Structures are given as C-alpha cells and as structure tokens.
Chain A
C-alpha cells in the first residue's frame, strides 16, 4: 500500500510536469511553413535569389485559373464576373483575364511620364493628326462605347497603351474579350496572391476566397474551375499530408496498443509504455520553442517519427520485469545498455545540429532532448510506478521455442566484410543517379497536376519557374535605368522567339531619368495648342473639344517623377516588391521569362548586357544547393558515426565488443542502401534521415543482444523485448510505406527495411555469448 501511494505520487507529479509543458508549448510555439528552413543558407547572390524566389518571388505567388464546361460566351461572362469580385480582395494583389480593367488612378495622371510610346513620338502636330484621325474612326466604330469617354482627355490613348504594355507578353488567345486557351474551350485567368507561395495556410485562405468568388460569379452551374500554381500545390500537399498523417498516426497507435496488450496482457502497461514517448515529445517541443520560438511542420512530422525510438525504452524494461524482481534493480541492471543506446543515438543527431540548416538543427535538438528525457524517464520514473507484477517473458512457451530457432549462426567476419563491399558496389552501379538533387522532392506534387500546370503555363504565357536574370545595382533608380538599357536586347529575344515574353520592374515603373526625359519632351501649352489646331484641320472635331487633354499635359509637365515610395499605396507596389529585392544594400532587379525556348540565348543576352547582369538557372542552382546541403550532412554523419563508435567503445570497454555491436548496424545500413538503389531509387535527404533512424534502432537491438547477461531466461527476456520493439516499429513503418505521399512512403520503406535487416543481423551476433547458457 505504501509503495502504491508513492507510485501514485510519482505518476501524479510527472503528469503535472507534462501538462505544464503542454501548456507552455501550446502557448508559445508557432508552426512555421517556410520551406527555406530546410535549406542551407545561401552563399552566392544567385542562391539568395533562389531562396527568396522559393518563398516570395513573383512566380510562386501566381495562381493559374481555367474555367470550362460551357460555351465561350458564358465562360467569358463568368471570367469577367470573377475578376469583378476579386478586384479589391485583400488576398490577391492582382487578377487578370485579358480584359483590361480600370487603370489605377496614378497611371492616368502620370501617363505622359510612364508611357514608353512617348519615347517613340513627341506630342507634335504629326502625332496628333494621326491620333485624331484614328479617334474619329473610333468614334464611329463599335469601340466608341468605351473609347468616347476617354478621347477628350487622352486622344493618343496613352492610358490604354500603358495597360497593354503591362500585359505585354505572348498573350493567350482572346475570345469574347477575355483570355482563352488555343482550343477556345477554357477561359484563362491569372491571380497573384498576397501570400508567399509556400505559406499553405494563407494560400488556402486565398483559394477559399477564389472558390467562393467563383461560386458567386458562376453564370452556368456546369462551369468548372481548375486552379494551378505553387500556392495551390503547397495548400494541397499540406492538406493531403495532414490527412494521411492523421490516419497513419491512428493506425500506428492502434497497432502499437494491440502489440503491447498482446505482449504484456495488462492495460496498465499501455500507460507505462506511453509515458517516456509523451515526455520526449513535450520536452522536445519545449526545447525547440525555447530556442527558436517556431517549429517547422516538417520538423514536427520527422521529429515524431525519430523519437519513436523512445517507444523501445520502456519495452526493454517491461520485458525484463518479472515477479520478485525489484523494478529499480531491474532498471539498474539494464541502464548501462539502455544509456549506451540513448547516448549513441543522441550523438548521431548532433550531426543535424551541426548541419547549418535551421530545420535540421531544430530536428536534432528536438530529437536529442526528447530521447534524453525518454531515457531518463525510463530510468528514474517508470520503475517507481510500474509495480512488479509482470509475467516472466522467459516462461512463455512460444518464446522458448522461438529462442532456439531465432539464433542464427554467426557470420564469419570475412563474410560480413564481403557482403558490405558487395552492397557498396551494388549501390554504386545500380541504374540511375545515386543522389536525388531535385529540390521539388521536398514537396512532391502528383504528376498529373504538374502536367496540368505546364499546359496552363504555356497557354497563359505565364512566367517560367526555371530561368531568370538578375540585374544588380547600388540603388533602385540605377536598377530601373539598367533594366531600361537592357530592354532592347530582351525585345530581340522575344522577336526571335527565343522566349515568349519577359517581365521586369521598369515595365511598371520607369526610372526617374526616363520620366524626366519624357516630361522634358512635352510641349508647352501654346505649342500644344498650335499643334492641336494644325492636327484638327479638315477633321470634324470641335474647337476646344480637347481642353481636358491640354490641361492634363500641362499638369504632367509639373509632376514630380514617380518613385517606388510614391506608388507604395497602389496595386503596383506588390508587383515592384516582388521584382525588386533589396539585400545587403544591393538592389537586385529580377527579369522573369515566359515560354523559354532557347535558354542559351538568355545567357548570351546577359553576357553582352554587362557584368551586373547574371542569368540564373534555378534548377541547377537548387541542385547545387541540395548537393552542398547533402555534403554537409554526410560530413556531419561521418563525424557522428565516429562519435557513436567511440561512445559504444567507451561504454562496452573494449573494441572487440564495440565492433561486434556496430557491425550488424553498419551492414544493414549498407544493405538498405543497396536494396533501395536496386529498386531504382535515388537517395534523398529524407532517406538519409530514415537511415540514421534505422541505424539507431539497430544499435539498440545489437546492444541488448550483446549485453553480457547470464542465463537462458535473461536472454529470452531480451529477445522478447527486441521482438516487441522491432515488430511494433516494423508495423508502424510498414503502414507508412503504404502512404500515397512519396516522402512518407520512402521513409516507411527505408525504416521498415532497416529494422527488419537490423533485427535479423543482430540475431546472428557472434555466438560466443549467445550460447553461454543452458
């Protein structure tokens, strides 16, 4: 009775600590979604651009929208209604469907400073004569309905020409006044979100707004909307991953509960087994929260997978517990082995802290803190609350029979070495590249959606996600000037069909230099009046009909040129922000391309444009980044492996035993790599992490098997523990390998394979100590 009440007190205090941690964590920890946490810091301006572009660039904010399922007239009407509804919606900075909407007010006011047409022709009598003749035709044409109100103030149609210039790229086919695909079956639109591309929650909100606007705008119930683009993908993948992780988690919990119930036949053990894991999770989260304040979703998902090892700690304890044995004595007996396992695994995760990648460092911290606490919970808390009333695993008849069969003959060291070399060779020569450098694998998108995206992107002439150019300059004004200087070269690329189009900041905001030049070329009031008078000769326009025009030109002569600061409150601001990036006092102006047919020509253009212009192939840059990231991680893992070996050596006391324990783990890691490579897989970051997890588990199995313990009974208890550990891990990761999400699947396959191999190889541990019984 006395013991039981003390156990209750221990349990109670422990639970209170856990609940307080839970409160602390849920109060302070924010869930981050920025993928860049998982990438190494940029070292070159190109890589900085890449990292910026991944989350915040203009390309990843663009949603491509297609409407189909009705005739072109109703699709066009729905397209227009959708634009109408979304214009002014805070979630979108811009929405286009090919129909030019009302221009922002500042464009009308500053049109004579902004319009590039002003460079081609001054506002003289000849220009005006031509314009007035055209406008007269416009007045009598069907276009008069919307042009007539403009003509008095804007006879050269400068405002519409700016709007056209802004949309300048290989515009999609226009049907019923809005964009359509080449077949005329789908109305097309683009929307730029305020949210960054890899902010799945805000992207989801934008998508919801889009959906409800569509439902309200839809003229015909048969019309369907398809949305594509990075934002849609990130929202979709988050939703799918979350949904699958939920049912996988539930499935894994059920399997675990079932296995534990079968193994120990006492409901009480379920709580005991859960305690170290729960403590690990909460302490891990609390540590990350304390040091970083924010945890990435991937850290969480991976972290929970990695600390799954902690599930094994109580299992070893429970399998060795039996009636008559003081739990504290039991744990003191097991502790050196358990502690070696915990310490060596933690050392391996130190590699992640040293990786220089924030997300991985978080992962390392989370896991080390978690596993450490799980080990200590098993050592100091569990024995005080577990009680001693357990059936002796050694007396289980099936285990006795299995124990004989499950003793594999010891592999001679030469065979071990031979297999290891064979695995390395197989991994090296198997078809396909050894390493997967595709950053896209971090957020795998179903291929049919990618195909859809490519089609829409081509139809819309939307920016290419791979190639871009950067113009670096000390100031924004200088960057805009340089963009204007390199624009003729870009126009050549378009004219010669090397690219379908391009976009840069100077298109939306010319440099102050250009604006001043245009301003200085504007005629004085008397000059304009006489030019108008000459132009009007022989045309039926009323004298004085263009007084608003004369007033606007006079006003334009007095304007201060526009700067990015001056347009901060306009819709153009967000476009400029995406295209002009300032870092470390350098302005980096982006040139994004659409429909790149000849990437080599872009290189040629940038080489001749000047030393301040560089072309970036985002794909090769991202691959370089991934390679660098992996090299660092591999280096850290090598150091970690050495440290791990050292921990095992120190703990076991001599190298012979240490090698014996490390050999199965090493061989099974190499074998998993060989098997994966034979299956045609290239290795990526997720598999590396999974291999570390499997190796940590394998080390535990080997340590327990190797543990010098006297007696057949004790050996059977160890076997029981390892069987329960490996079966439960195998079941959980086998479940994960059934996932439809490639990342989860590859983790599942890797760990399941690793656990199975580690278990089998640990059974074959050199027999000198395994036969020292009976």
Chain B
C-alpha cells in the first residue's frame, strides 16, 4: 500500500503541471495562430541598432517582406540602400556598387535565432519555434509579450533572449537582448514603425513588460 500512496503523489503533480502547461500552451497557440501571415506580406520597420563602437544609435528604416516558406527580405531605404534576402539558412546581402555578400546562418548564430524565430512565427511553424526557443507568454496592460529564450548554447553566447511585443494580432516591437542584458537591436514594426515619434514608440512598445 505504501507503494500505492507513494506513486499517487507524482501522478497528481504531473497532472497538475500538465494542466498548467496546457493553459500556457493554449494561449501561446492562439497567439501564434493570430500572428501567422499568408505570404506575400509587407510590413514597414524601423530598426534601432546600438553598439559599443557607436556613440549614438543607428536608426534604419525600410520594409520587411515575408515571401513564405522560410523566405524573408529586408530592404533598408534610409540612411542608405541595402537589401538582404534570407532563404532558409542562406543569407545574401546586396548593396549598390558593392559585390554581393552571402553567408550561412551557421556563421551567425545570434542572427540565426532571430530570423528563424521570425520566419517560424510568420509561417506558423510552432514546432520549429519550440525547437530553437523556450517560449513564455505574458500579458500586460499595453498588450502581450512573447519571450523567446534560445536553447542552443552558441546562440545564447550572444543573445540572451528575444522579446516580441504586440497588441492583438499585430506584432509591434522585437527586441534582441544581448548577453548581459543590453539591447542589441530594437525592431519596430507596422504602425509602431510608421509613427514618426520613434522615441515614444520605443518607450511604449520595446520595454520589458514582464
């Protein structure tokens, strides 16, 4: 009988834990389902890049284009012109008057996480997303926040997490948090990007709401 009671406790625990996970998972599911986009999709972006080499942040504007099946294009229009094509694991960078540069995501682990994540979200590939990241969802006053923590050690060496914030079915800001906590890039999307008051949009959408 002792053995019967002893085994009963873990069973109860597991059931409870599974119920909690299910609830979380159901929410993530419905959020992810709402974020899926039928290709082709275009969305404006503003990217704010910081680096220890720079005395002020670099602000880029342009267009992200989701073309389905792991294909994503990023076209920068200001302050310079540049186009990046991502196709699966291959990245190609095109600049006027410069030779084309191409490399594989394997060489850029931090980046790999970010792009795989974005493409998986847009394509509704929950499995690919979970393979690369631990997901956690939080709801705040201004909307939801999906936090992606990379599973791979190589990626974690550079990227602590990626925070995706949005409202309803609209993603508004993606923050790549560098190892150690500082932000590497903040990517404002859609209506957050079209608003000329970038600083205000960042304060609204890019902070940590969890």
Sample (26) of A-B pairs whose CB atoms are under 8 Å apart:
A76-B104, A77-B106, A80-B104, A80-B106, A99-B104, A99-B106, A139-B49, A139-B54, A139-B58, A140-B58, A140-B76, A142-B74, A142-B111, A143-B93, A143-B108, A145-B108, A146-B103, A146-B107, A146-B108, A148-B51, A152-B53, A176-B89, A176-B90, A541-B53, A541-B55, A542-B52
The 3 closest A-B pairs by CB, nearest first: A177-B104, A145-B108, A542-B55
When the two chains form the complex, which single residue of B51, B88, B104, B185 contacts A178, counting CB atoms closer than 8 Å?
Answer: B104
Could you say which of A76, A133, A142, A151 contacts B84, with CB atoms under 8 Å apart? A142
B55 touches A174 (CB 8 A): no
With A76-B106, A99-B107, A146-B107 already in contact, the answer to whether A139 and B89 are too (CB < 8 A) is no
Q: Measured between alpha carbons, how far is A72 from B98 in the docked complex, in Å?
A: 27
Give Cα A137 to B82, complex, Å.
8
Are A139 and B53 within 8 A (Cβ)? Answer: yes
Residues of B within 8 A of A80 (CB): 104, 106
**Contact residues in A for B88 (Cβ distance below 8 Å):** 72-73, 176
Interface presence of A543 (CB below 8 A): yes
Which residues of B have CB within 8 Å of A146?
A: 103, 107-108
Q: Indicate with 1 or 0, residue by residue over B102-125, a CB within 8 angstroms of chain A CB atoms.
A: 111111111100010000000000
CA distance A176 to B57 in the complex (A): 31
Nearest chain B CB to A293's CB is how many angstroms away?
51
Contact check: which of A73, A139, A177 meets B103 at CB < 8 Å? A177
- Checking B53, B74, B98 against A134 with a beta-carbon cut-off of 8 angstroms, the contacting residue is B98
Whether A141 is near chain B, meaning CB under 8 Å from some CB there, is yes
User: Which of A137, A144, A152, A174 interacts with B102 by CB under 8 Å?
Assistant: A174
B101 interfacial contact with A, CB 8 Å = yes
**Cβ contacts under 8 Å, A175 to chain B:** 90
CA distance A715 to B51 in the complex (A): 104
For residues 44 through 77 of chain B, which have their beta carbon under 8 Å from a beta carbon of chain A? Answer: 47, 49, 51-58, 60, 74, 76
Total B residues in contact with A, Cβ cutoff 8 Å: 38
Asked whether A139 and B111 contact (CB < 8 A) given A72-B88, A176-B89, the answer is no
Chain A 132-161, CB-CB to B under 8 Å as 1, else 0, gives 011011011111111010011000000000
Task: Output the nearest chain B residue to A177 by Cβ-Cβ distance.
Answer: B104
- Using an 8 Å CB-CB cutoff, how does the interface string of A251-281 with B read, 1 for contact, 0 for none? 0000000000000000000000000000000
Q: Give the residues in chain B near A139, CB-CB below 8 Å.
A: 49, 51, 53-54, 58
Check A140–B47 contact: CB distance below 8 A. Answer: yes
Is there contact, CB below 8 Å, between B89 and A540?
no
Residues of A contacting B55 with CB < 8 Å? 540-543
Cβ-defined contact, A137 with B89, below 8 A: no
Contacts of A143 in B (CB 8 A): 91, 93, 101, 103, 108
Distance of A140 Cα from B91 Cα, bound (Å): 14
CB of A545 within 8 A of chain B?
yes
From A140, A176, A177, name the one whose CB has the most chain B CB atoms within 10 angstroms.
Answer: A140
Bound complex: CA A136 to CA B108 (Å)? 18
Point out the residues of chain A lying under 8 angstroms from B76, CB to CB. 140
Nearest chain A residue, comparing its CB with the CB of B115: A142
Contacts of B103 in A (CB 8 A): 99, 143, 146, 177
**Does B126 lie at the interface of the complex (its beta carbon under 8 Å from any beta carbon of A)?**
no
Q: Which residues of A contact B53 (CB under 8 A)?
A: 139, 148, 151-152, 541-542, 545
Say yes or no: A177-B58 contact (C-beta < 8 A), given A142-B84, A142-B108: no
Complex Cα–Cα for A145 and B107 (A): 8
Q: Chain A contacts of B104 at CB under 8 A?
A: 76, 80, 99, 176-178
- Complex contact B80–A137 (CB within 8 A): yes
Q: From residue B169, how far is it (CB to closest CB) to chain A in Å?
A: 26
Q: Which residue of B lies closest to A151 (CB)?
A: B53
What distance in Å separates the Cβ of A495 from its nearest Cβ neighbour in chain B? 15
CA distance A66 to B102 in the complex (A): 21
- The residue among A136, A145, A146, A543 with the most chain B CB atoms within 10 A of its own CB is A145
Contacts of B86 in A (CB 8 A): 142
B108 to chain A, nearest CB (A): 4
Q: A134-B98, A142-B111, A177-B103 are in contact. Are A73 and B54 (CB under 8 A)?
A: no
| CA distance in complex: A201, B86 (Å) | 45
Cβ 8 A contact of B106, one of A142, A176, A543: A176
Q: Which of A73, A140, A145 contacts B60 (CB 8 A)?
A: A140
Please judge, given known A-B contacts A142-B115, A145-B158, A540-B56, whether A72 and B89 are in contact too, CB under 8 Å.
yes
Chain A contact residue count (CB 8 A cutoff): 31
Q: Least Cβ distance of B73 to chain A in Å?
A: 12
- Shortest CB-to-CB span from A255 to chain B, Å, is 59
- Residues on the B chain within 8 Å of A177, using CB: 89-90, 102-107
Given contacts A99-B107, A540-B57, 12 further A-B contacts (CB under 8 A): A76-B104, A99-B106, A137-B80, A137-B82, A140-B49, A142-B84, A142-B115, A146-B108, A177-B89, A540-B54, A541-B53, A541-B55
Q: Separation in Å of the A139 CB from the closest CB of chain B?
A: 6
In the complex formed, the residue of B with least CB distance to A76 is B104
Q: Would you call B131 an interface residue if the criterion is a C-beta within 8 Å of the partner chain's C-beta atoms?
A: no
Q: Which residues of A contact B56 (CB under 8 A)?
A: 540
Inter-chain CA distance A174–B56, complex, in Å, is 36
Q: In angstroms, how far is the closest chain A Cβ from the Cβ of B116?
A: 11
Point out the residues of chain B lying under 8 angstroms from A176, CB to CB.
Answer: 88-90, 104-106
Nearest CB of A to B145, in Å? 24
CA distance A133 to B81 in the complex (A): 12
A521-579 contacts to B, CB under 8 A, are 540-543, 545
Asked if A141 and B93 sit within 8 Å, CB to CB, the answer is: yes
Tell me the minimal C-beta distance from A137 to chain B in angstroms: 6
Chain B min CB distance to A428 (Å): 60
Is the Cβ of B109 less than 8 Å from the Cβ of A145?
A: yes
Chain B hits for A541, CB < 8 A: 53-55
Closest residue of chain B to A178, judged by CB? B104
Pairwise interchain contact A145-B110, C-beta atoms closer than 8 A: yes
By a CB distance below 8 angstroms, the chain A residues around B115 are: 142
> Bound complex: CA of A279 vs CA of B58, how far in Å?
87
Specify which chain B residues have a CB less than 8 angstroms from the CB of A540 in the assembled complex.
54-58
Whole-angstrom CA separation of A139 from B49 in the bound complex: 8
A:97-153 near B, CB below 8 Å: 99, 133-134, 136-137, 139-146, 148, 151-152
Residue B200 is within 8 A (CB to CB) of chain A in the complex = no
Q: Which residues from 169 to 221 on chain A have a C-beta closer than 8 Å to any C-beta of chain B? A: 174-178
**Is B151 part of the contact surface with A, judged by Cβ < 8 Å?**
no
For residue B109, which residue of chain A has the nearest CB?
A145
A137-B95 contact given A80-B106, A143-B101, A176-B104, CB 8 Å threshold: yes
Q: Is the CB of B111 within 8 A of A145?
A: yes
Residue from A134, A146, A176, A542 whose CB has the most chain B CB atoms within 10 Å = A176
- Complex: A58 Cα to B106 Cα, angstroms: 30
Which of A134, A136, A142, A148 is B58 in contact with, Cβ under 8 Å? A136
Residues in chain B near residue A133, CB distance under 8 A: 80
Using Cβ atoms and an 8 Å threshold, which residues of chain B touch A178?
104
Q: How far is the CA of A354 from the CA of B55 in the complex (A)?
A: 82
> Across the interface, which residues of B come within 8 angstroms of A152, CB to CB?
53
Contacts of A77 in B (CB 8 A): 106
Q: How far is the CB of A81 from chain B (nearest CB, A)?
A: 10
Please indicate the chain A residues that have their CB under 8 angstroms from the CB of B98 in the complex.
134
Decide if B84 touches A141 in the complex (CB within 8 Å).
yes
Nearest A residue (CB) for B70:
A73
User: Which residues of A are found within 8 Å of B95, using beta-carbon distances?
Assistant: 137
Q: Considering the chains assembled together, what is the distance between the CA atoms of A151 and B58 in angstroms?
A: 16
Contacts of A542 in B (CB 8 A): 52-55
Contacting B at CB under 8 A, from A319-359, are none
Q: Could you give, for residues 175-191 of chain B, a 1 whenever the CB lies within 8 Å of some chain A CB and a 0 otherwise?
A: 00000000001000000
